[in-house]
Amino acid sequence: GEAVLVPSLAGLFIPDEPRNDLDSIIAARRIEPGQRSQRITVSMDGAKRDFTFLPGARLYHTERSFFLEVGFRMPLPEGVITSAYGIRRSPIDGHDRLHEGVDLSAPSHTEVLAARDGTVSEAGEDPVLGLRIIIDHGGGLRTVYGHLSAIRVVLNQTVRSGTMIGAVGSTGLSTGPHLHFEIRLGGKAKDPSSYLPGLKP
């Protein structure tokens, strides 16, 4: 029951207000100086939506991969969820707040794997997550790996899905060995279980 835009010319609609994850990925792309574009307002489902239309533009590899559901792999060879995504009482200070990822229990020094192809955008120490890695997958998608005991990658390194990037630890604000894993889209945390169907408590 969802309306679909089919342009009469080859090109791409970029929504002003994304309504789903694919919209958000497309909306994250930058319009290059001098690139042809056209503002369009479309009536859909009884409401008006504003778009920028880029004649001749095509989906980038990352956008195509998301549309074709080329997803994420588990960041650990094995792991049990000890704390899911969502509002929870912090084991550190006892206050209720959003837990922006999932905690996966695993022995110290267990290999941590890149969940998808990408480029290391951050690798170092964080006051909360301890030793932490952030991988940029393009299109506004990033994954975060926290509380590591070791980091095995460097800044700007290109990694493939399944590459060992670090090891499980208990650095930062942590009560025991585990991996804190996040998926972010456009800077906002998403529930990793929506991207990893096999991820269950």
Number of domains in the chain: 2
Q: Note the pLDDT tens digit of each residue in 115-166.
A: 999 999 999 999 999 999 999 998 888 999 999 999 999 999 999 988 999 9
Q: Which domain, by its residues, includes 25?
A: 11-67
Amino acid 29: pLDDT: 65
Considering the domain boundaries, does residue 186 fall inside one? yes
Residue 185 and residue 112 share a domain: yes
Residue 188 and residue 100 share a domain: yes
Residue 138 and residue 188 share a domain: yes
Q: Note the pLDDT tens digit of each residue in 156-165.
A: 999 998 899 9
Residue 111 and residue 54 share a domain: no
Residue after which a domain boundary falls, among 19, 40, 67: 67
Considering the domain boundaries, does residue 55 fall inside one? yes
Amino acid 4: pLDDT: 64
- 36: which 2 tokens? 């042809």
Considering the domain boundaries, does residue 201 fall inside one? no
Distance between CA atoms of residues 198 and 5, nearest Å: 32
Three-state secondary structure of the chain: CCCCCCCCCCEEEEECCCCCHHHHHHHCCCCCCCCCCEEEEEEECCEEEEEEEEECCCCCHHHHHHHCCCCCCCCCCCCEEEECCEEEECCCCCCEEEECCEEEECCCCCEEECCCCEEEEEEEEECCCEEEEEEEEECCEEEEEEEEEEECCCCCCEECCCCEEEEEECCCCCCCCEEEEEEEECCEEECHHHCCCCCCC
Residue after which a domain boundary falls, among 45, 67, 89: 67
Residue 118 and residue 19 share a domain: no
Residue 89 and residue 188 share a domain: yes
Considering the domain boundaries, does residue 118 fall inside one? yes
Bridge partners (DSSP) of residue 112 are 166
Amino acid 69: pLDDT: 47
Amino acid 50: pLDDT: 85
Burial 177-191 (b: 16+ CB within 10 A, else e): bbbbbbbbbbeebbb
Amino acid 135: pLDDT: 97
pTM greater than the 0.85 cutoff: no
Considering the domain boundaries, does residue 1 fall inside one? no
Amino acid 22: pLDDT: 66
Amino acid 154: pLDDT: 97
Residue 91 and residue 190 share a domain: yes
Amino acid 65: pLDDT: 55
**Nearest CA-CA partner of 75 in 172, 179, 190:** 179
- 144: which 2 tokens? 């975060």
Where residue 177 sits, what CATH number does that domain have?
Answer: 2.70.70.10
Residue 152 and residue 63 share a domain: no
Q: C-alpha dihedral over 191, 23, 129, 127, to 10 degrees?
A: -140
**One pLDDT digit (tens) per residue for the chain, 201 residues:** 556 666 667 777 777 877 666 666 666 666 777 778 888 888 766 788 888 888 877 766 556 655 544 578 889 987 778 888 878 777 777 778 878 899 998 999 999 999 999 999 999 999 999 999 999 998 888 999 999 999 999 999 999 988 999 999 999 988 899 999 999 988 889 888 878 766 655
Residue 90 and residue 183 share a domain: yes
Bridge partners (DSSP) of residue 38 are 53
